[in-house]
């Protein structure tokens, strides 16, 4: 049981976590924090949180668990505002998509990673944002990755794991660097490609006709380009080394496909398409519903 859960950043992820925790009955009170008071009032009206404060220091006071659900670019600032006001036994976690930058922010604020801090990342979401888009079922049958540090206490890890398992998620653990490499390939690169494709087509002279006649495949592929640009700017910059590595590999493969198309090399094109289909059928279609956004 969590006596007082404080969620800093009550948007899609933070709001959905609050809803799921309330539905599971694992917390007595949920306190929200953020800069947008209108959104926080809406969160209270919707029953997502019980009360709020626009001052992080005030919101975390007395909380036994704090979840940072702010954009990566705002993480260090939020940590600085809360550092001197946390209960000594308060467990702190986050939902950031790049763990290396979060750990660096924690070290910058506290000098070292405290034992009660456990980095986390739910592999869930939609292209929508804001507390109105939140829903309690968001994490059901989804993966949540925890990246505990050597100094993370077993009690803090167990409590964060328990929070996420209560939402219906499957919790796994991996180290920080490996997490960032995996997510660069499976989440960050696809978003980067979707944003770039839509922007490229939108700036073509025939853009209106292109979008008018787009079919379901185009809409499915580019859905994630409707995601929050500020959040994804922060993610791409925070995890840029891992993203650049996988992006360069993709550029090399795309160059090979370009050369094959110029040469009319049907075998190369077919082999690439066949490998891609086989891989997707094997790894994605058989993932037991554990899909990421």
Task: List the CATH number of the domain containing 237.
Answer: 1.10.3660.10
198 and 246 belong to one structural domain: yes
Last residue of a domain, one of 174, 203, 222: 174
Q: What range defines the domain where residue 105 resides?
A: 2-174
Please check whether residues 269 and 144 belong to one and the same domain: no
User: How sure is the predictor about 32, in pLDDT bands with cuts at 50, 70 and 90?
Assistant: very high
CA 279 to the chain's CA centroid = 24
**pLDDT tens-digit map of 52-87:** 999 999 999 999 999 999 999 999 999 999 999 999
Written as six digits, the tokens of 48 are: 């997502």
The mean pLDDT of 182-203, rounded to a whole number, is: 95
Residue 125, CA atoms < 13 Å, CB-side half-sphere: 26
Please give the Cα distance from 51 to 30 (Å, whole number). 7
Within-domain flag for 264: yes
- Cβ-contact 20, 144 below 8 angstroms: no
Over the stretch 112-143, which tens digit does the pLDDT of each residue have? Answer: 999 999 999 999 988 888 999 999 999 999 99
Q: CA-based angle 283:248:198, to the nearest 5?
A: 75
Please check whether residue 50 is in contact with residue 30, taking contact to mean a CB–CB distance below 8 angstroms.
yes
Closest CA to 65 of 89, 81, 84: 89
Answer with the residue of higher pLDDT: 274 or 211.
274
> What value does the mean pLDDT of the chain take?
94
CATH assignment at residue 8:
3.40.50.720
Give the H or E element holding residue 29.
Answer: strand 27-33
Residue 75, C-beta contacts closer than 8 angstroms, at least 6 positions apart: 68, 94, 96, 101, 102, 105
Tell me whether residue 77 is in a domain.
Answer: yes
Same domain assignment for residues 111 and 166: yes
Distance CA 230, CA 234 (A): 6
164 and 235 assigned to the same domain: no
Percentage above 70 pLDDT, the chain: 97
**Which residue's structure tokens are 């467990």?**
91
């Amino acid at each position: 049981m969590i006596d007082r859960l404080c969620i800093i950043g009550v948007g899609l992820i933070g709001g959905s976590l609050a809803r799921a925790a309330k539905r599971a009955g694992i917390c007595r009170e949920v306190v929200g924090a953020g800069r947008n008071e209108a959104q926080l009032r809406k969160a209270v009206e919707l029953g997502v949180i019980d009360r709020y404060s626009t001052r992080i220091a005030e919101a975390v006071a007395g909380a036994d668990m704090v979840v940072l659900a702010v954009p990566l670019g705002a993480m260090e600032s939020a940590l600085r505002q809360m550092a001197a006001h946390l209960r000594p036994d308060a467990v702190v976690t986050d939902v950031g998509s790049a763990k290396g930058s979060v750990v660096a922010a924690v070290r910058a604020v506290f000098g070292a990673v405290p034992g009660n801090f456990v980095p986390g990342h739910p592999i869930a979401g939609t292209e929508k944002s804001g507390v109105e888009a939140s829903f309690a079922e968001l994490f059901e049958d989804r993966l949540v990755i925890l990246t505990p540090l050597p100094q993370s206490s077993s009690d803090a890890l167990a409590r964060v794991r328990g929070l996420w398992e209560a939402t219906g998620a499957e919790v796994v653990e991996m180290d920080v660097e490996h997490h960032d490499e995996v997510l660069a390939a499976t989440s960050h690169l696809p978003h980067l490609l979707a944003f770039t494709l839509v922007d490229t087509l939108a700036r073509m002279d025939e853009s209106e006709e292109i979008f008018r006649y787009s079919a379901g495949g185009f809409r499915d592929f580019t859905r994630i380009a409707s995601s929050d640009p500020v959040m994804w700017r922060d993610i791409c910059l925070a995890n840029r080394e891992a993203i650049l590595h996988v992006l360069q590999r993709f550029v090399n493969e795309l160059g090979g496909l370009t050369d094959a198309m110029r040469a009319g090399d049907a075998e190369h094109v077919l082999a690439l398409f066949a490998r891609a289909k086989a891989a997707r059928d094997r790894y994605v279609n058989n993932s037991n519903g554990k899909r990421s956004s």
